[in-house]
């Protein structure tokens, strides 16, 4: 496994990225379709899970 000593790792960055994309979709596209709402929630959850590893 390749690990860096830095506190802010690639995994944390990906987690924040997924959360950010999920939140943006959540805020802008929610009024149109319910399945996009579920997709955004999924991205946020995935982002949180990645961020914790």
What pLDDT is attached to residue 1?
Answer: 47
3 assigned to some structural domain: no
2 assigned to some structural domain: no
End-to-end CA distance of the chain: 13
- The reported pTM is 0.41
Q: Which domain holds residue 23?
A: 10-52
Q: Give the count of domains, the chain.
A: 1
5 assigned to some structural domain: no
What pLDDT is attached to residue 2?
Answer: 53
4 assigned to some structural domain: no
What would the pLDDT profile of 1-43 be if each residue is shown by its tens digit?
455 555 667 777 777 787 788 778 777 766 666 677 777 788 8
């Amino acid at each position: 496994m390749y690990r860096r000593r830095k506190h802010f790792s690639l995994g944390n960055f990906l987690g924040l990225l997924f959360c950010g994309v999920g939140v943006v979709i959540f805020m802008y596209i929610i009024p149109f379709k319910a399945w996009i709402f579920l997709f955004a929630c999924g991205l946020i959850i995935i982002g949180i899970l990645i961020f914790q590893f």
